[in-house]
């Protein structure tokens, strides 16, 4: 089966380094404010691409829409997002589904031929057994010849079927890998290799709707990160973010998930967490691990040992929606920052610990 040509993924559309990406975002946000466009991920992606200027058709469509409408229609934004931002992912999924259908059709045809061959073989075998009961039967040579031919035909059909089955298994595995990669690209943050904000909001909303009990939210923010970037440069800042992402992957409790919420801010959704003490103990372990990070400047071999993070915790309550839970955790994070940073708020039974 021929494979579909490789198309660009969403991550390929925006390959800029952090500084270039920040510059494009600084262009996109004023444009959105000027046209009173709702600040949501779909609109950010559209106007980021607009500022990038690599898709003239998208830019023409956006110019026309803001000229024709006082308020940007949300359904139009979603349509443009599908057509111009994630169209390749949607097309890959459609092609993958069609390839699976084709494979199933091929296997079905082979099975039908194999069944027909087995029927012919059984008929020949029955005739052969009947003829063997009478050794003087003059039709015996012909019957045996038919039986031999049917046996060879059935063997050939089975070999072809096994070959096609193995080929189908290889193709299905390839398609599964393609879909897995597409799914990962859509849900993972490229830099830290943990979930991105879109995936986080989807998972948190789903968790709250299913059962709020035993659900806790941990928010953390790397202290003085903007100053760190200004002093040492964005590449070193990116390495810090990567280290924090790795720590999150290593320390995550069972059934929990971590995400990069934005910039230097991260979130952890904890399950089977019924009290703040449990969330606090996890956050405190992570805080100490972040504080122990040592990042070396490659240009001078200087080791930086001043990386810390502040944490805010909140337990989900009956009737909580996503915004309410995030706001409570964010309020505690603000309190940790206000009280001196490098601490976890709130502490269930102890004052917030600081270095």
- The two three-digit tokens of residue 335, written as one number: 């309190």
How far apart CA 103 and CA 93 sit, in angstroms, is 15
Question: Catalytic: 264?
Answer: yes
Closest by CA position to 129, among listed 141, 149, 144: 144
Q: How many angstroms separate the CA atoms of 239 and 197, rounded?
A: 19
Q: Is 11:181 a contact under the CB 8 Å cutoff?
A: no
Report helix, strand or coil for 265: strand
Query: What 3-state class would DSSP assign to 353?
Result: coil
Q: How far apart are CA 48 and CA 244, in angstroms?
A: 27
Q: Which of 320, 292, 322, 285 is nearest to 306 (CA)?
A: 292
d(CA 52, CA 57): 13
> Cα(290)–Cα(206) distance, rounded to whole angstroms?
29
Cβ atoms of 144 and 132 within 8 Å: the answer is no
Rg (CA), the chain: 31
Catalytic: which of 75, 89, 264, 284? 264
Q: Which residues are catalytic?
A: 264
């Amino acid at each position: 089966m021929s494979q579909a040509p490789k198309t660009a993924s969403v991550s390929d559309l925006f390959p800029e380094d952090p500084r270039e990406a920040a510059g494009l975002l600084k262009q996109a946000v004023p444009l959105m404010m000027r046209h009173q466009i709702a600040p949501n991920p779909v609109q950010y992606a559209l106007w980021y691409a607009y500022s990038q200027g690599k898709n003239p058709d998208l830019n023409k469509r956006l110019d026309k829409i803001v000229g024709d409408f006082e308020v940007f229609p949300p359904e139009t934004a979603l349509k443009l997002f599908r057509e111009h931002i994630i169209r390749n992912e949607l097309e890959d999924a459609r092609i993958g589904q069609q390839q699976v259908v084709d494979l199933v059709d091929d296997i079905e045809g082979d099975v039908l031929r194999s069944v027909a061959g087995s029927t012919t073989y059984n008929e020949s075998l029955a005739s052969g057994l009947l003829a063997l009961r009478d050794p003087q039967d003059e039709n015996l040579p012909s019957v045996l010849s038919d039986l031999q031919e049917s046996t060879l035909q059935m063997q050939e059909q089975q070999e072809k079927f096994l070959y096609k089955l193995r080929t189908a298994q290889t193709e299905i595995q390839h398609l599964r890998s393609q879909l897995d990669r597409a799914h990962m690209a859509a849900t993972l943050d490229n830099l830290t290799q943990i979930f991105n904000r879109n995936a986080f909001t989807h998972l948190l909303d789903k968790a709250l709707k299913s059962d709020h009990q035993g659900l806790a939210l941990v928010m953390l923010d790397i202290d003085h990160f903007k100053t760190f970037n200004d002093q040492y440069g964005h590449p070193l800042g990116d390495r810090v973010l990567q280290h924090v992402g790795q720590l999150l992957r290593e320390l995550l409790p069972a059934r929990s998930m971590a995400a990069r919420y934005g910039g230097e801010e991260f979130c952890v959704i904890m399950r089977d967490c019924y009290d703040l003490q449990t969330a606090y103990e996890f956050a405190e372990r992570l805080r100490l691990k972040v504080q122990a990070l040592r990042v070396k400047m490659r240009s001078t071999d200087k080791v930086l040992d001043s990386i810390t993070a502040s944490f805010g915790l909140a337990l989900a309550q009956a009737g909580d929606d996503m915004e309410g839970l995030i706001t409570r955790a964010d309020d505690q994070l603000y309190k940790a920052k206000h009280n001196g940073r490098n601490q976890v708020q709130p502490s269930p039974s102890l004052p917030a610990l600081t270095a």
